[in-house]
Amino acid sequence: MSTDDKRVREFAYQIWESEGKPEGQEARHWEMARKLAEAEALAPSKSPKAAGSKAVKPNGKLEDKPAAKPKAGAKAKPAAASSVIPPGEKNSEKKPRARKKPAV
């Protein structure tokens, strides 16, 4: 079995699982998986840095990279305290409601 066939099989299995493992949908799952594998093969490969915050270890497993540290001179912006309303309190700055039209 080629690596392409293995990838189609992996995609088909993921699709089947994501749909709740329905019966009788094999042909549709295989077709979707084949299209995904073709699109993946045609897509330009990305460098590990451009791929996101995951790094591939030599054993082939992914590991999360720590978040980037802020610069020393940068200050953290405080959260807008006015937008947080404690439970049980009403917002005093509500928009006025539109009047209902009288029934005719």
The pLDDT value given to residue 89: 63
How far apart CA 78 and CA 84 sit, in angstroms, is: 12
pLDDT digits (tens, 9 = 90+) for 76-87: 555 555 556 666
* pTM assigned to the model: 0.42
Distance CA 101, CA 10 (A): 59
pLDDT score for 95: 66
What number is the average pLDDT over the span 47-63?
Answer: 54
Read off the pLDDT of residues 8-47 as tens digits, 9 standing for 90 and up: 999 999 999 999 999 999 999 999 999 999 999 888 877 5
With DSSP H G I counted as helix, E B as strand and the rest as coil, what are the percentages for the chain, rounded to 5? 35, 5, 60
